[in-house]
Amino acid sequence: MKDWDRDSLGVKKYYPIGQRKQSNATWLLLSENSFRLAPGETKNINLNMTIPHEAPSLVLTNSMLFFTQVKEQKGELQKGVNMNVLLEMGIQIYHVPTGLPTGDLEFLAFEDKGLITPEGGNSVRKMLVKVKNTGQINKDAYVRFELTNIETGEEVPVKSIAIAMLPEAEQWIQLDLPATLKGRYLAVAILDAGTQYDLKIAEKEITY
């Protein structure tokens, strides 16, 4: 078990148990910490959560439970390259008290970073939008982008980006565009968090 959160780009960061005040890892108990599975066997592992009386009533807590495959090394390895492929699966565990303010998702910034050439990679035009979760619950959403040439009306296909945000988190969403773009463009970012929230729209005019 570990504590975790996300950095400003949405990448998960892991910590030893107890380093985050929103941790609930110490509340958890597994029925077994290690087990063996025969071929085709299914096994149930019970996970119990005991919520302390002094736990804050209006705070979401979380932790991560990892199941890691362990394979014994053979006594004698064959000549050449020997490789073991082991699987690890992380399960996010939340305690969400009733009555938490749902809040909303909001755009905070829309920036054009121009032409960027990563080390050892191809040049791209990079755009960034910054989003904030104003509520006390997790939120999943899609950020959809539309890019239109103002002079010709041509639309540039742009992929949607899925995001997941912890309470009160702020996150930058990065979008890489072709380096070959030339002219004046209208960039539109649409924040879609589902039917229970209003769509949020941000626009920016960019000249390449």
Task: Please write the tens of the pLDDT for every residue from 68-122.
Answer: 988 765 656 677 777 777 889 999 999 999 999 999 999 999 999 988 887 777 8
Instruction: Please determine, for residue 177, whether its predicted confidence score (pLDDT) is greater than 70.
Output: yes
At residue 157 the predicted structure's pLDDT band, cuts being 50, 70 and 90, is very high
pLDDT value for 81: 78
Domain ranges of the chain: 3-95, 105-207
Instruction: Indicate the CATH number for domain 105-207.
Output: 2.60.40.10
- Rounded distance between C-alpha atoms, residue 104 and residue 126, angstroms: 26
pTM, full prediction: 0.84
| Of 99, 70, 74, nearest in space to 85 by CA | 70
pLDDT in tens, 106-119: 999 999 998 888 77
Q: Put residue 57 in one of left, alpha, beta given phi > 0 → left and psi -120 to 50 → alpha.
A: alpha
